[in-house]
Amino acid sequence: MTDPQLRHVGLKVGGFEAIDVEEAETGIFGFWVFLMSDAILFALLFAVYGTQLAATAGAPGPAAEFKIDSAFWETMVLLLSSFTYGMSSFAMKYGGQLRWVVGMLLVTLVLGLTFLGMEANDFAVMIHDGATPDRSGFLSAFFALVPTHGLHVVAGCSWIVVMLVQVAAFGLDDRVKINLLRLGLFWHFLDVIWIAIFSVVYLQGVMR
């Protein structure tokens, strides 16, 4: 503890005034605990999906239902949003120019909503084709796994809106900064989960 900076945050944001460093560290570490419990939830949904991969029971299977182009563009959008969130954190760390922090948050929000729109469209097409969760074990597992990630992105987008309101109300004070760091962890984590979904669900699915 020789360095009076946040140690849990890679983007060590120095210069906290109102909050002491230890309190900030505890808050970030607690959020990591939540993220890891969430990771375990997703891992088990993946495990269930793996066991149900062959259980199509005559309903449309992965090769028929997955649109790889759409999944690819969703991946690109989410990856870019992860990067733009990183740029927002970067701007916050160095100088904290409100224009950049908020601008990049807005870009991230738009990309997140774009992703959700594309994903909702995918689900609508699947359901229109008769690939509903009640048709087979495979479809149940698919609709348990992928929309759970979608719900997380919905939560992330709502959180971005909340943070924009907080920035507008309080400016970039210490608590807002820490909240933005936590939201950043959440947002990057969602992208990591999506990489697993893209590999395990979509790429594996169209390969069959």
Partner 1 sequence: MSGPGPSLPRRLARYGAAALWVATAFSVRPAAAPPARRTARPSKAEIAADRRRDLLTYGIGYGLALALTLLAFALVYWRWAEPPVALALVFGLGLVQVLVQFRCFLHIDFKGQARDDLLLILFSTLIVLLMVGGTLVVLFNLRARMM
Residue 199 beta carbon to partner 1: minimum distance, rounded to whole angstroms: 4
Within 8 A by CB and 6+ apart from 128, the residues are none
Two structure tokens written together for 161: 């809106």
> Per CB under 8 A, does 87 bind partner 1?
yes
Q: Are 25 and 1 in contact (CB under 8 A)?
A: no
73 three-class SS: helix
Helix axes 137-170, 21-52, angle to 10 degrees: 160
- Of 19, 21, 67, 83, which one interacts with partner 1 (CB under 8 A)? 83
Site for partner 1 in 132-171 (CB under 8 A): none
Q: How far apart are CA 144 and CA 54, in angstroms?
A: 16
CA angle at 171 for the pair 170 and 175, rounded to the nearest 5°: 70
Site for partner 1 in 61-80 (CB under 8 A): 68, 72, 75-76, 79
> Per CB under 8 A, does 12 bind partner 1?
yes
Closer residue to partner 1 in complex, CB, 90/123: 90
Interacting residues toward partner 1 by CB under 8 A = 2-5, 7-12, 14, 29, 32-33, 36-37, 39-40, 43-44, 46-48, 50-51, 54, 68, 72, 75-76, 79, 82-83, 86-87, 90, 93-94, 185, 188-189, 191-192, 195-196, 198-200, 203-204, 206-208
